Amino acid sequence: MNQEFNRPSEQSLPPNPTPPKRNNTWIYITIIALLLISNIVLFFNRSKVVEQKEDAEIQFASSDSSRRAVETEYNAALVRLDELVSKNAQMDSMLNDRDSEVAKLKKQIDAIVRDKNASSADLGRAKRLIATLNSKVRTYEERIAELEQENTELTESNVSLARERDTAVSQSTALAQKVKLGAVLHASNIRMTPIDLRRGGRKIKETEKASKVDVLRINFDIDENRIAESGSKEIFLRISGPDGNVLSNAAYGSGVTTAADGQSLNYTLLKQIELLKNQPVRDVIVDWNQESDYKRGAYNIQLFHEGYKIGEGRVFLK
């Protein structure tokens, strides 16, 4: 056979088929979906992280606020303790004693308050400890109030006793003064007689002439006294001349004593008498001898006992 007859001609061969085009749409959709899902997951994860962070910040803020509230409450309790110490010095040693219950409570509370990471449970325990501390403070305050009340009552009682004492002293002083005044003697029947001594004093003659007077004789009685005790009593005689001056001569016993008002009192003569309680002393005689001549005019005599004037008299010389 003819080989050319058997070879198919190029024109009669079927054409080669074109390969089909690949469809990538689902791939893109799938990738987009995955990315979308991934973004959604990331978004929710981020939101959760943010939420957790916010919750943590809220919890921290709440915890810090609680800690500060506990610290404020604790500081208030410390202020009350300081007030107790200022009110009562004895509280200082008791409250600051390391072995005291208050010191132990303060130590425990301090440890919690200073811990910035203290848990809610710790802060709750601190609040209970502060409540116990405040309870003890109230007990001390009540005791101090009782002591202050007792002190006030004692002060009032002392004031009352002092008043009673002063009243008693005043009454006693007044009574003593009355007794003292009651014991002051009283003179009566006072007479001052000018005497002319003759024949060397063997003859006595009363006279009114100043030029003839040698002696002024004072006579007086001491009345009965129911208060004055028996014994020797001093009677001071004060004679003043017409010029108002006190007759005085230290050689004859003149001197100075003290009057009841505290003033100095010049006296002419001092006479000691013996007194018996409830009995008068009659006709006491005291003579005043004067070296110089007597002047005409009035002569006054005053008698004193215990600084008080107890009688007086007068005589006139021509």
Model confidence over 268-316: pLDDT tens digits? Answer: 999 999 999 899 999 999 999 888 888 999 999 999 999 899 899 999 9
Residue 29 confidence (pLDDT) above 70: yes
Residue 19 covered by a domain: no
Q: Which domain holds residue 97?
A: 27-144
Domain presence at residue 172: no
Q: How far apart are CA 289 and CA 243, in angstroms?
A: 18
Q: Does residue 11 sit within a domain?
A: no
Give CA–CA dist 271/288, Å, rounded.
Answer: 11
Residues in CB range of 308: below 8 A, 6 or more apart = 181, 184, 259, 260
* Cα dihedral 243, 246, 247, 250 sign: negative
Phi, psi of 283 (to 5 degrees): 50, 60
Give the chain's mean pLDDT.
Answer: 79
Residue type, 106: K
**Percent of the chain residues past pLDDT 70, beyond the cut:** 79
Q: Which amino acid appears at position 118 of this protein?
A: A
How far is residue 208's CA from residue 204's CA, in Å, rounded to a whole number?
13
Residues 193 and 252 in one domain: yes
Beta-strand pair 255-258/308-317 = unpaired
Domain with residue 189: its CATH number is 2.60.40.10
**β-strands 308-317, 297-305: how paired?**
antiparallel
In a domain, 105, yes or no: yes
pLDDT of residue 1: 45
Asked if residue 309 and residue 200 are part of one domain, the reply reads: yes
Answer yes or no: do 38 and 108 share one domain. Answer: yes
Task: Give CA–CA dist 185/198, Å, rounded.
Answer: 36
Q: Using one digit for the tens of pLDDT, what is the confidence trace for 168-189? A: 778 777 777 777 788 888 989 9
- What is d(CA 239, CA 271) in angstroms, rounded to the nearest whole number? 13
Examine the domain organization and report whether 126 and 214 are in the same domain: no
* 126 in any annotated domain: yes
The answer to the question of residue 8 being in a domain is: no
| Cα 3 to the center of its chain, rounded Å | 152
Determine, yes or no, domain membership for 139: yes
**Predicted local confidence at residue 31, as pLDDT:** 79
Element (H, E) at 286: strand 281-289
Q: Are residues 310 and 189 in the same domain?
A: yes
- Separation in Å, CA 8 to CA 1, 11, 15, 49: 14, 8, 13, 76
Same structural domain, 108 and 229: no
Would you say residue 87 lies in a domain?
Answer: yes
pLDDT digits (tens, 9 = 90+) for 124-148: 887 888 888 788 778 777 777 777 7
Predicted TM-score of the model (pTM):
0.51
